[in-house]
Chain A
Amino acid sequence: MTDAKPIFSLLGTTAALFEAPGPAMDLTRQQRIWALAKETQTWPEVREAVPGMNNLMLAFSTPPRDIAALRERLVSAWATASPMVLDGRVIELPVVYGGEGGPHMSDVVAHTGLSVDDIVALHSAPVYPVYALGSHPGYCYLGGMDERIATPRRQVPVLRIPGGSVSIGGFQTGVSASAGPSGWNTIGSTSMSFFDPELAMPALLQPGDSIRFRVEKVIR
Protein backbone atom coordinates (compact mmCIF):
# COMPACT_ATOMS: atom_id res chain seq x y z
CA MET A 1 0.00 0.00 0.00
CA THR A 2 2.95 2.31 0.62
CA ASP A 3 6.33 2.65 -0.97
CA ALA A 4 7.92 4.93 1.64
CA LYS A 5 8.04 4.97 5.43
CA PRO A 6 5.89 7.29 7.52
CA ILE A 7 7.68 10.12 9.31
CA PHE A 8 7.42 10.46 13.08
CA SER A 9 8.66 13.66 14.75
CA LEU A 10 8.36 15.56 18.02
CA LEU A 11 6.64 18.87 18.77
CA GLY A 12 8.52 19.43 22.03
CA THR A 13 7.03 17.29 24.79
CA THR A 14 3.54 18.60 23.99
CA ALA A 15 2.77 16.47 20.95
CA ALA A 16 4.09 14.12 18.27
CA LEU A 17 3.49 14.36 14.54
CA PHE A 18 2.87 11.38 12.26
CA GLU A 19 3.13 12.02 8.51
CA ALA A 20 1.76 9.41 6.14
CA PRO A 21 4.10 8.60 3.27
CA GLY A 22 3.29 9.36 -0.36
CA PRO A 23 3.84 12.21 -2.80
CA ALA A 24 0.52 13.95 -3.50
CA MET A 25 -2.46 14.68 -1.27
CA ASP A 26 -4.78 11.72 -1.44
CA LEU A 27 -8.35 11.12 -0.17
CA THR A 28 -7.88 7.40 0.50
CA ARG A 29 -4.77 8.14 2.55
CA GLN A 30 -6.76 10.81 4.42
CA GLN A 31 -9.51 8.26 5.16
CA ARG A 32 -6.81 6.06 6.72
CA ILE A 33 -5.67 9.08 8.77
CA TRP A 34 -9.27 9.44 10.07
CA ALA A 35 -9.19 5.74 11.05
CA LEU A 36 -5.81 6.20 12.78
CA ALA A 37 -7.17 9.26 14.65
CA LYS A 38 -10.16 7.27 15.87
CA GLU A 39 -7.94 4.50 17.21
CA THR A 40 -5.18 6.64 18.78
CA GLN A 41 -7.77 8.85 20.52
CA THR A 42 -8.36 5.88 22.85
CA TRP A 43 -4.68 5.61 23.89
CA PRO A 44 -4.11 6.70 27.50
CA GLU A 45 -1.21 9.12 26.80
CA VAL A 46 -3.19 10.88 24.04
CA ARG A 47 -5.26 13.90 25.04
CA GLU A 48 -6.35 14.58 21.50
CA ALA A 49 -5.68 13.00 18.11
CA VAL A 50 -5.82 15.78 15.52
CA PRO A 51 -5.96 14.95 11.79
CA GLY A 52 -4.03 17.28 9.44
CA MET A 53 -3.48 16.96 5.70
CA ASN A 54 -2.37 13.34 5.28
CA ASN A 55 -0.87 13.56 8.77
CA LEU A 56 -1.92 13.22 12.40
CA MET A 57 -0.85 15.09 15.53
CA LEU A 58 -1.10 13.36 18.90
CA ALA A 59 -1.34 15.94 21.70
CA PHE A 60 -0.24 14.30 24.94
CA SER A 61 -2.15 14.26 28.22
CA THR A 62 1.15 13.08 29.73
CA PRO A 63 4.21 12.72 27.50
CA PRO A 64 5.20 9.01 27.43
CA ARG A 65 8.61 8.16 28.91
CA ASP A 66 9.30 5.64 26.16
CA ILE A 67 8.77 7.67 23.00
CA ALA A 68 10.29 4.96 20.76
CA ALA A 69 7.59 2.52 21.87
CA LEU A 70 4.86 5.03 21.00
CA ARG A 71 6.40 5.49 17.58
CA GLU A 72 6.37 1.73 16.95
CA ARG A 73 2.75 1.41 18.05
CA LEU A 74 1.77 4.27 15.72
CA VAL A 75 3.58 2.81 12.74
CA SER A 76 1.98 -0.59 13.23
CA ALA A 77 -1.48 0.96 13.76
CA TRP A 78 -0.98 2.85 10.47
CA ALA A 79 -0.03 -0.38 8.66
CA THR A 80 -3.37 -1.95 9.58
CA ALA A 81 -5.57 1.19 9.30
CA SER A 82 -8.16 0.79 6.57
CA PRO A 83 -9.88 3.79 4.94
CA MET A 84 -12.79 5.13 7.02
CA VAL A 85 -15.46 6.44 4.63
CA LEU A 86 -17.51 9.31 6.07
CA ASP A 87 -20.68 10.41 4.26
CA GLY A 88 -21.18 14.12 4.82
CA ARG A 89 -23.07 17.11 3.46
CA VAL A 90 -22.16 19.38 0.54
CA ILE A 91 -22.23 23.12 1.36
CA GLU A 92 -22.31 25.66 -1.48
CA LEU A 93 -20.45 28.96 -1.00
CA PRO A 94 -20.92 31.96 -3.36
CA VAL A 95 -17.53 33.57 -4.06
CA VAL A 96 -16.53 36.99 -5.39
CA TYR A 97 -13.15 36.34 -7.03
CA GLY A 98 -10.49 39.09 -7.33
CA GLY A 99 -10.89 42.75 -6.41
CA GLU A 100 -10.51 44.00 -2.83
CA GLY A 101 -11.55 40.63 -1.40
CA GLY A 102 -8.88 38.83 -3.44
CA PRO A 103 -5.74 40.94 -3.04
CA HIS A 104 -3.30 38.18 -4.01
CA MET A 105 -5.00 37.08 -7.25
CA SER A 106 -2.23 38.84 -9.18
CA ASP A 107 0.41 36.75 -7.37
CA VAL A 108 -1.40 33.54 -8.39
CA VAL A 109 -1.61 34.87 -11.98
CA ALA A 110 2.12 35.66 -11.90
CA HIS A 111 3.07 32.27 -10.45
CA THR A 112 0.84 30.06 -12.61
CA GLY A 113 0.91 32.06 -15.85
CA LEU A 114 -2.86 31.52 -16.12
CA SER A 115 -5.52 34.22 -16.66
CA VAL A 116 -7.92 35.26 -13.87
CA ASP A 117 -10.76 33.50 -15.72
CA ASP A 118 -8.78 30.27 -15.99
CA ILE A 119 -7.89 30.39 -12.30
CA VAL A 120 -11.54 31.00 -11.32
CA ALA A 121 -12.74 28.19 -13.59
CA LEU A 122 -10.20 25.72 -12.19
CA HIS A 123 -10.81 26.78 -8.59
CA SER A 124 -14.62 26.60 -8.74
CA ALA A 125 -14.84 23.29 -10.67
CA PRO A 126 -14.30 20.61 -7.98
CA VAL A 127 -16.40 19.53 -5.01
CA TYR A 128 -13.78 19.81 -2.26
CA PRO A 129 -13.84 17.23 0.53
CA VAL A 130 -13.07 18.57 4.04
CA TYR A 131 -9.92 16.67 5.06
CA ALA A 132 -9.42 18.27 8.46
CA LEU A 133 -10.13 21.35 10.59
CA GLY A 134 -7.38 23.62 11.84
CA SER A 135 -5.78 27.04 11.65
CA HIS A 136 -8.57 28.80 13.57
CA PRO A 137 -12.04 27.96 14.94
CA GLY A 138 -14.16 26.35 12.21
CA TYR A 139 -11.56 26.52 9.43
CA CYS A 140 -11.57 23.63 6.95
CA TYR A 141 -8.63 22.21 5.04
CA LEU A 142 -9.87 21.01 1.67
CA GLY A 143 -8.52 18.35 -0.67
CA GLY A 144 -8.79 18.11 -4.42
CA MET A 145 -7.50 21.46 -5.69
CA ASP A 146 -6.29 21.44 -9.31
CA GLU A 147 -2.48 21.39 -9.21
CA ARG A 148 -2.29 23.90 -12.06
CA ILE A 149 -3.31 26.71 -9.67
CA ALA A 150 -0.99 25.67 -6.82
CA THR A 151 0.96 28.72 -5.60
CA PRO A 152 3.58 28.74 -2.84
CA ARG A 153 2.77 30.28 0.54
CA ARG A 154 3.80 33.90 0.85
CA GLN A 155 7.40 34.88 1.67
CA VAL A 156 6.17 36.70 4.76
CA PRO A 157 2.73 36.02 6.30
CA VAL A 158 0.09 38.77 6.07
CA LEU A 159 -0.81 40.10 9.55
CA ARG A 160 -4.55 40.19 8.92
CA ILE A 161 -6.96 38.86 6.31
CA PRO A 162 -10.75 39.15 6.85
CA GLY A 163 -13.12 36.26 7.59
CA GLY A 164 -14.52 34.64 4.43
CA SER A 165 -11.23 34.93 2.54
CA VAL A 166 -10.83 32.20 -0.08
CA SER A 167 -7.14 31.43 -0.48
CA ILE A 168 -4.48 29.13 -1.91
CA GLY A 169 -1.45 27.90 0.05
CA GLY A 170 0.81 25.56 -1.92
CA PHE A 171 -1.42 22.81 -3.36
CA GLN A 172 -4.20 23.48 -0.81
CA THR A 173 -7.19 25.83 -0.72
CA GLY A 174 -9.57 26.98 2.02
CA VAL A 175 -11.86 29.69 3.43
CA SER A 176 -10.94 31.67 6.55
CA ALA A 177 -13.67 31.52 9.20
CA SER A 178 -12.62 34.75 10.97
CA ALA A 179 -10.12 37.61 10.59
CA GLY A 180 -6.47 36.88 11.39
CA PRO A 181 -2.92 36.39 10.13
CA SER A 182 -2.27 34.12 7.14
CA GLY A 183 0.59 32.98 4.93
CA TRP A 184 -1.73 32.05 2.05
CA ASN A 185 -2.67 33.87 -1.18
CA THR A 186 -6.20 35.29 -0.97
CA ILE A 187 -8.02 35.17 -4.33
CA GLY A 188 -11.65 35.85 -3.35
CA SER A 189 -14.21 36.21 -0.58
CA THR A 190 -17.44 34.66 0.65
CA SER A 191 -19.71 35.06 3.68
CA MET A 192 -20.70 32.13 5.88
CA SER A 193 -20.70 31.45 9.63
CA PHE A 194 -18.45 28.45 10.22
CA PHE A 195 -18.27 28.34 14.01
CA ASP A 196 -20.51 28.80 17.08
CA PRO A 197 -18.83 28.09 20.46
CA GLU A 198 -22.26 27.74 22.13
CA LEU A 199 -23.11 24.60 20.17
CA ALA A 200 -22.20 21.09 21.30
CA MET A 201 -20.71 20.59 17.83
CA PRO A 202 -19.30 24.11 17.41
CA ALA A 203 -17.92 23.72 13.88
CA LEU A 204 -20.28 23.92 10.87
CA LEU A 205 -18.26 21.37 8.90
CA GLN A 206 -16.57 18.10 9.81
CA PRO A 207 -14.13 15.83 7.99
CA GLY A 208 -16.22 13.99 5.39
CA ASP A 209 -18.37 17.05 4.51
CA SER A 210 -17.66 18.90 1.25
CA ILE A 211 -17.59 22.47 -0.09
CA ARG A 212 -18.50 23.69 -3.59
CA PHE A 213 -17.50 27.25 -4.60
CA ARG A 214 -20.09 28.97 -6.83
CA VAL A 215 -18.80 31.92 -8.90
CA GLU A 216 -20.90 34.92 -7.88
CA LYS A 217 -18.73 37.53 -9.57
CA VAL A 218 -15.23 37.91 -11.01
CA ILE A 219 -13.48 41.26 -10.58
CA ARG A 220 -10.62 41.46 -13.11
Chain B
Amino acid sequence: MIEVLSTGALNTVQDLGRDGCLRWGVGTAGAMDGLALAAGNLLLGNDTNCAAVEVQVFPFKVRFLANCDFALTGADCDARLDDTPLMPWATHGACAGQILTLNLPRLGALRRSRTYLCLPGGVDVPIVLNSRSTQLRGAFGGVGGRALRTGDRLHATTPACLEGRALGLVPPEVAMPLHLDGCPAMRVLPAAEYAQYTAASQSAFWSSEWKITPQSDRYGFRLAGEPLQAIAPLEMRSHGIVPGVIQVPPDGQPIVQMRDAQPTGGYPKMGTVIEADLWRLGQMPIGSRIRFMETSWEEALEALQQTQAWLADTKRQIQLHHDTRSAA
Protein backbone atom coordinates (compact mmCIF):
# COMPACT_ATOMS: atom_id res chain seq x y z
CA MET B 1 0.00 0.00 0.00
CA ILE B 2 1.17 3.53 -0.76
CA GLU B 3 0.00 6.87 0.56
CA VAL B 4 0.13 10.03 -1.54
CA LEU B 5 2.17 12.67 0.33
CA SER B 6 2.09 15.33 -2.36
CA THR B 7 0.70 15.54 -5.87
CA GLY B 8 -0.09 18.05 -8.59
CA ALA B 9 -3.62 18.65 -9.81
CA LEU B 10 -4.04 16.05 -12.54
CA ASN B 11 -2.34 12.78 -11.68
CA THR B 12 -4.71 9.86 -12.18
CA VAL B 13 -5.06 6.08 -12.13
CA GLN B 14 -5.20 4.69 -15.68
CA ASP B 15 -5.17 1.34 -17.44
CA LEU B 16 -5.09 0.89 -21.24
CA GLY B 17 -8.56 2.41 -21.55
CA ARG B 18 -12.29 1.73 -21.55
CA ASP B 19 -13.66 -0.11 -24.56
CA GLY B 20 -17.24 -0.73 -25.60
CA CYS B 21 -18.98 2.26 -23.98
CA LEU B 22 -18.81 4.75 -26.84
CA ARG B 23 -22.52 4.27 -27.56
CA TRP B 24 -23.28 5.83 -24.15
CA GLY B 25 -21.04 8.78 -24.86
CA VAL B 26 -18.21 7.38 -22.75
CA GLY B 27 -14.73 8.01 -24.18
CA THR B 28 -11.87 5.58 -23.72
CA ALA B 29 -9.64 7.52 -21.26
CA GLY B 30 -6.58 5.35 -20.47
CA ALA B 31 -2.83 5.96 -20.29
CA MET B 32 -1.45 8.73 -22.54
CA ASP B 33 1.57 6.47 -23.17
CA GLY B 34 0.03 3.02 -23.37
CA LEU B 35 3.36 1.45 -24.34
CA ALA B 36 5.09 2.70 -21.17
CA LEU B 37 2.19 1.45 -19.04
CA ALA B 38 2.21 -1.97 -20.73
CA ALA B 39 6.01 -2.27 -20.35
CA GLY B 40 5.87 -1.22 -16.68
CA ASN B 41 3.29 -3.91 -16.07
CA LEU B 42 5.39 -6.55 -17.86
CA LEU B 43 8.37 -5.63 -15.66
CA LEU B 44 6.32 -6.71 -12.63
CA GLY B 45 4.85 -9.79 -14.31
CA ASN B 46 1.45 -8.07 -14.57
CA ASP B 47 -1.06 -8.22 -17.38
CA THR B 48 -0.33 -5.27 -19.72
CA ASN B 49 -3.74 -3.73 -18.95
CA CYS B 50 -3.26 -3.44 -15.17
CA ALA B 51 -3.91 0.04 -13.73
CA ALA B 52 -1.05 2.32 -12.68
CA VAL B 53 -0.56 5.89 -11.51
CA GLU B 54 0.00 8.29 -14.41
CA VAL B 55 2.09 11.18 -13.12
CA GLN B 56 2.10 14.27 -15.34
CA VAL B 57 2.36 16.99 -12.70
CA PHE B 58 5.53 16.94 -10.61
CA PRO B 59 6.82 16.61 -7.99
CA PHE B 60 4.83 13.58 -6.91
CA LYS B 61 5.60 11.91 -3.60
CA VAL B 62 4.32 8.70 -1.97
CA ARG B 63 5.19 6.77 1.18
CA PHE B 64 5.23 2.96 1.11
CA LEU B 65 3.18 1.62 4.03
CA ALA B 66 4.41 -1.95 3.45
CA ASN B 67 7.31 -3.61 1.64
CA CYS B 68 6.43 -3.51 -2.03
CA ASP B 69 8.02 -3.74 -5.44
CA PHE B 70 7.23 -1.22 -8.12
CA ALA B 71 8.25 -0.24 -11.65
CA LEU B 72 8.82 3.17 -13.19
CA THR B 73 8.42 3.73 -16.94
CA GLY B 74 7.77 6.68 -19.22
CA ALA B 75 9.44 10.02 -18.55
CA ASP B 76 12.82 9.94 -16.77
CA CYS B 77 11.94 12.09 -13.79
CA ASP B 78 14.96 12.02 -11.45
CA ALA B 79 13.14 9.50 -9.25
CA ARG B 80 14.46 8.92 -5.74
CA LEU B 81 13.67 6.35 -3.08
CA ASP B 82 14.49 8.34 0.04
CA ASP B 83 17.80 9.80 -1.18
CA THR B 84 18.79 7.02 -3.59
CA PRO B 85 18.46 7.86 -7.31
CA LEU B 86 16.47 5.26 -9.27
CA MET B 87 16.91 4.03 -12.82
CA PRO B 88 13.99 4.84 -15.14
CA TRP B 89 12.35 1.97 -17.04
CA ALA B 90 13.18 -0.47 -14.24
CA THR B 91 11.81 -2.41 -11.29
CA HIS B 92 12.69 -1.45 -7.74
CA GLY B 93 11.85 -2.61 -4.24
CA ALA B 94 10.73 -0.38 -1.37
CA CYS B 95 10.56 -1.09 2.35
CA ALA B 96 7.74 0.10 4.56
CA GLY B 97 8.28 3.76 5.45
CA GLN B 98 10.41 4.64 2.43
CA ILE B 99 9.43 7.67 0.39
CA LEU B 100 9.40 7.72 -3.42
CA THR B 101 9.78 11.14 -5.04
CA LEU B 102 9.22 11.79 -8.76
CA ASN B 103 10.70 15.13 -9.79
CA LEU B 104 10.26 17.26 -12.90
CA PRO B 105 11.43 15.22 -15.92
CA ARG B 106 14.98 15.98 -17.05
CA LEU B 107 15.40 18.66 -19.70
CA GLY B 108 16.89 17.89 -23.09
CA ALA B 109 15.93 16.39 -26.44
CA LEU B 110 14.63 13.20 -24.84
CA ARG B 111 12.51 15.02 -22.28
CA ARG B 112 9.19 13.29 -21.89
CA SER B 113 6.22 14.35 -19.79
CA ARG B 114 4.49 11.37 -18.16
CA THR B 115 5.81 8.76 -15.73
CA TYR B 116 4.00 5.53 -14.82
CA LEU B 117 4.24 4.14 -11.30
CA CYS B 118 3.24 0.49 -11.60
CA LEU B 119 2.51 -1.84 -8.68
CA PRO B 120 2.42 -5.67 -8.50
CA GLY B 121 -0.92 -6.88 -9.82
CA GLY B 122 -1.86 -3.28 -10.67
CA VAL B 123 -3.42 -0.51 -8.59
CA ASP B 124 -6.47 -2.04 -6.92
CA VAL B 125 -9.42 0.19 -7.79
CA PRO B 126 -12.88 -1.07 -8.84
CA ILE B 127 -13.67 -1.84 -12.45
CA VAL B 128 -16.38 0.56 -13.66
CA LEU B 129 -17.82 -0.05 -17.15
CA ASN B 130 -15.05 -2.50 -18.17
CA SER B 131 -12.07 -0.44 -16.99
CA ARG B 132 -10.15 1.00 -14.04
CA SER B 133 -9.25 4.19 -15.92
CA THR B 134 -10.28 7.51 -14.41
CA GLN B 135 -13.08 9.10 -16.50
CA LEU B 136 -12.74 12.71 -15.35
CA ARG B 137 -15.66 14.04 -17.39
CA GLY B 138 -18.00 11.32 -16.13
CA ALA B 139 -16.47 11.44 -12.61
CA PHE B 140 -16.09 7.65 -12.33
CA GLY B 141 -13.31 5.07 -12.54
CA GLY B 142 -9.86 5.32 -10.93
CA VAL B 143 -10.04 6.74 -7.38
CA GLY B 144 -13.58 8.13 -7.06
CA GLY B 145 -13.59 9.38 -10.65
CA ARG B 146 -11.11 12.13 -9.80
CA ALA B 147 -7.43 13.03 -9.83
CA LEU B 148 -5.30 11.82 -6.90
CA ARG B 149 -5.12 13.94 -3.75
CA THR B 150 -2.76 14.12 -0.82
CA GLY B 151 -3.72 11.42 1.68
CA ASP B 152 -5.10 8.97 -0.89
CA ARG B 153 -4.06 5.38 -0.18
CA LEU B 154 -3.56 2.99 -3.07
CA HIS B 155 -3.28 -0.79 -2.77
CA ALA B 156 -1.31 -3.13 -4.99
CA THR B 157 -3.60 -5.97 -6.10
CA THR B 158 -0.99 -8.68 -5.36
CA PRO B 159 1.73 -7.15 -3.14
CA ALA B 160 4.96 -8.98 -3.87
CA CYS B 161 8.66 -8.70 -3.33
CA LEU B 162 10.82 -9.78 -6.27
CA GLU B 163 14.02 -9.35 -4.21
CA GLY B 164 17.11 -9.32 -6.37
CA ARG B 165 15.19 -9.53 -9.57
CA ALA B 166 15.60 -5.85 -10.51
CA LEU B 167 15.90 -5.23 -14.19
CA GLY B 168 15.69 -2.41 -16.70
CA LEU B 169 14.56 -1.85 -20.26
CA VAL B 170 15.67 0.23 -23.22
CA PRO B 171 12.90 2.85 -23.63
CA PRO B 172 10.83 2.53 -26.84
CA GLU B 173 11.76 6.06 -27.99
CA VAL B 174 15.36 4.81 -28.11
CA ALA B 175 14.47 1.42 -29.62
CA MET B 176 11.99 2.86 -32.17
CA PRO B 177 12.93 6.51 -32.80
CA LEU B 178 10.95 8.57 -35.32
CA HIS B 179 12.14 11.99 -36.45
CA LEU B 180 11.75 14.27 -39.44
CA ASP B 181 14.52 16.86 -39.96
CA GLY B 182 15.50 16.40 -36.32
CA CYS B 183 11.95 17.01 -35.05
CA PRO B 184 9.90 14.27 -33.30
CA ALA B 185 7.44 12.94 -35.87
CA MET B 186 4.04 11.21 -35.77
CA ARG B 187 2.61 9.26 -38.67
CA VAL B 188 -0.81 10.43 -39.85
CA LEU B 189 -3.50 8.89 -42.05
CA PRO B 190 -5.46 11.62 -43.89
CA ALA B 191 -9.11 11.87 -42.78
CA ALA B 192 -12.38 12.70 -44.55
CA GLU B 193 -12.02 16.49 -44.90
CA TYR B 194 -8.31 16.56 -45.85
CA ALA B 195 -9.17 17.16 -49.54
CA GLN B 196 -11.29 20.17 -48.60
CA TYR B 197 -8.27 22.20 -47.45
CA THR B 198 -6.29 24.49 -49.75
CA ALA B 199 -3.19 23.04 -51.42
CA ALA B 200 -1.08 25.52 -49.44
CA SER B 201 -2.62 24.33 -46.15
CA GLN B 202 -2.18 20.66 -47.06
CA SER B 203 1.46 21.35 -47.80
CA ALA B 204 1.97 23.37 -44.60
CA PHE B 205 0.37 20.56 -42.59
CA TRP B 206 3.12 18.11 -43.63
CA SER B 207 6.07 20.43 -44.05
CA SER B 208 5.90 22.75 -41.05
CA GLU B 209 6.57 22.28 -37.35
CA TRP B 210 3.63 22.37 -34.91
CA LYS B 211 4.11 23.73 -31.43
CA ILE B 212 2.24 22.12 -28.53
CA THR B 213 0.60 25.05 -26.71
CA PRO B 214 0.02 25.36 -22.94
CA GLN B 215 -3.71 24.76 -23.57
CA SER B 216 -2.94 21.07 -24.01
CA ASP B 217 -3.97 18.29 -21.67
CA ARG B 218 -5.31 14.74 -21.58
CA TYR B 219 -8.37 15.91 -23.58
CA GLY B 220 -6.39 17.25 -26.49
CA PHE B 221 -3.22 18.95 -27.68
CA ARG B 222 -3.89 22.37 -29.15
CA LEU B 223 -1.21 23.12 -31.72
CA ALA B 224 0.10 26.43 -33.02
CA GLY B 225 1.47 27.00 -36.50
CA GLU B 226 0.49 28.14 -39.98
CA PRO B 227 -3.37 28.40 -39.83
CA LEU B 228 -5.04 25.71 -41.97
CA GLN B 229 -7.66 27.04 -44.34
CA ALA B 230 -10.57 25.12 -45.80
CA ILE B 231 -11.49 25.93 -49.39
CA ALA B 232 -15.05 26.69 -48.15
CA PRO B 233 -16.39 26.81 -44.56
CA LEU B 234 -17.33 23.33 -43.34
CA GLU B 235 -20.25 22.67 -40.98
CA MET B 236 -20.43 18.99 -40.15
CA ARG B 237 -22.81 16.48 -38.61
CA SER B 238 -21.51 15.15 -35.30
CA HIS B 239 -19.75 11.82 -35.75
CA GLY B 240 -17.59 9.36 -33.86
CA ILE B 241 -13.94 10.30 -33.30
CA VAL B 242 -11.03 8.55 -31.57
CA PRO B 243 -7.83 9.61 -29.78
CA GLY B 244 -5.38 10.80 -32.44
CA VAL B 245 -7.95 12.58 -34.64
CA ILE B 246 -6.63 16.00 -35.73
CA GLN B 247 -9.54 18.43 -35.79
CA VAL B 248 -9.38 21.91 -37.28
CA PRO B 249 -11.66 24.52 -35.67
CA PRO B 250 -12.44 27.60 -37.80
CA ASP B 251 -9.40 29.49 -36.46
CA GLY B 252 -7.23 26.99 -38.39
CA GLN B 253 -5.13 25.87 -35.40
CA PRO B 254 -5.36 22.07 -35.16
CA ILE B 255 -6.33 20.13 -32.04
CA VAL B 256 -5.18 16.52 -31.68
CA GLN B 257 -7.65 14.51 -29.62
CA MET B 258 -5.94 12.66 -26.79
CA ARG B 259 -7.00 9.93 -24.33
CA ASP B 260 -9.71 11.93 -22.52
CA ALA B 261 -11.15 13.00 -25.89
CA GLN B 262 -14.87 13.02 -26.42
CA PRO B 263 -16.10 10.02 -28.42
CA THR B 264 -17.79 12.32 -30.95
CA GLY B 265 -17.00 15.64 -32.60
CA GLY B 266 -18.04 17.98 -35.35
CA TYR B 267 -15.00 19.95 -36.43
CA PRO B 268 -13.46 18.97 -39.79
CA LYS B 269 -10.65 16.43 -39.61
CA MET B 270 -7.32 16.78 -41.38
CA GLY B 271 -6.06 13.34 -40.38
CA THR B 272 -5.47 10.93 -37.50
CA VAL B 273 -2.21 10.22 -35.68
CA ILE B 274 -2.04 6.45 -36.07
CA GLU B 275 -2.62 4.26 -33.01
CA ALA B 276 0.99 3.00 -33.22
CA ASP B 277 2.33 6.54 -32.65
CA LEU B 278 -0.10 7.82 -30.01
CA TRP B 279 2.32 6.90 -27.20
CA ARG B 280 4.95 9.15 -28.80
CA LEU B 281 2.59 12.11 -28.89
CA GLY B 282 1.29 11.39 -25.38
CA GLN B 283 4.82 11.99 -24.07
CA MET B 284 5.55 15.26 -25.89
CA PRO B 285 5.91 18.17 -23.46
CA ILE B 286 4.08 21.49 -23.73
CA GLY B 287 6.21 23.93 -25.72
CA SER B 288 7.85 21.23 -27.83
CA ARG B 289 7.50 20.98 -31.61
CA ILE B 290 6.34 18.04 -33.67
CA ARG B 291 6.01 17.11 -37.34
CA PHE B 292 3.37 15.07 -39.14
CA MET B 293 4.38 12.37 -41.61
CA GLU B 294 1.90 11.01 -44.16
CA THR B 295 1.40 7.27 -44.05
CA SER B 296 -0.73 4.57 -45.69
CA TRP B 297 -3.13 2.00 -44.24
CA GLU B 298 -0.58 -0.79 -44.85
CA GLU B 299 2.28 1.16 -43.22
CA ALA B 300 0.04 2.06 -40.27
CA LEU B 301 -0.81 -1.63 -39.72
CA GLU B 302 2.87 -2.51 -39.95
CA ALA B 303 3.69 0.17 -37.37
CA LEU B 304 1.08 -1.32 -35.04
CA GLN B 305 2.71 -4.74 -35.48
CA GLN B 306 6.09 -3.20 -34.71
CA THR B 307 4.92 -1.88 -31.33
CA GLN B 308 3.29 -5.23 -30.55
CA ALA B 309 6.55 -6.97 -31.49
CA TRP B 310 8.48 -4.60 -29.18
CA LEU B 311 6.17 -5.54 -26.31
CA ALA B 312 6.45 -9.27 -27.09
CA ASP B 313 10.24 -8.96 -27.22
CA THR B 314 10.24 -7.04 -23.92
CA LYS B 315 8.17 -9.79 -22.35
CA ARG B 316 10.66 -12.45 -23.59
CA GLN B 317 13.64 -10.47 -22.20
CA ILE B 318 11.98 -10.17 -18.79
CA GLN B 319 11.11 -13.87 -18.75
CA LEU B 320 14.69 -14.77 -19.70
CA HIS B 321 16.04 -12.56 -16.92
CA HIS B 322 13.78 -14.23 -14.36
CA ASP B 323 14.65 -17.74 -15.62
CA THR B 324 18.37 -16.97 -15.41
CA ARG B 325 17.93 -15.65 -11.88
CA SER B 326 15.99 -18.69 -10.74
CA ALA B 327 18.57 -21.02 -12.29
CA ALA B 328 21.48 -19.18 -10.62
Contact = CB atoms under 8 A, between A and B. Distances in A.
A48 B20 contact: yes
Given A12-B273, A197-B129, A53 B239 contact: yes
Contact of A12 (B25, B262, B275): B275
Contacts of A170: 235-237, 266
B18 to A, nearest CB: 10
B26 interface: yes
B238 A52 contact: yes
A13 B23 contact: no
Interface in A10-28: 10-15, 17, 19, 25
Contact of B244 (A12, A132, A134, A169): A12
Contact of B266 (A54, A56, A67, A183): A183
Interface string A165-180: 0000111100001101
B249 interface: yes
A202 B24 contact: yes
B263 A135 contact: yes
Given A13-B304, A14-B243, A50-B240, A135 B251 contact: no
Which of the listed residues A10, A11, A59 has the most CB atoms from chain B within 10 Å of its own CB? A11
Interface in A179-207: 180-181, 183, 195, 197-198, 202-203
B195 to A, nearest CB: 10
A134 B240 contact: yes
A55 interface: yes
Given A57-B241, A135-B25, 18 more contacts: A9-B191, A10-B189, A11-B244, A12-B273, A12-B275, A17-B239, A48-B19, A48-B23, A50-B263, A53-B239, A132-B238, A134-B264, A135-B238, A137-B25, A170-B237, A172-B237, A183-B249, A195-B138
What 5 pairs across the A-B complex have the smallest Cβ distances? A57-B240, A134-B264, A12-B272, A9-B192, A137-B138
20 contacts: A10-B190, A10-B191, A11-B241, A13-B276, A14-B275, A47-B19, A57-B22, A57-B239, A132-B238, A134-B262, A136-B26, A137-B24, A137-B138, A153-B266, A155-B250, A156-B251, A170-B237, A177-B25, A178-B139, A180-B137
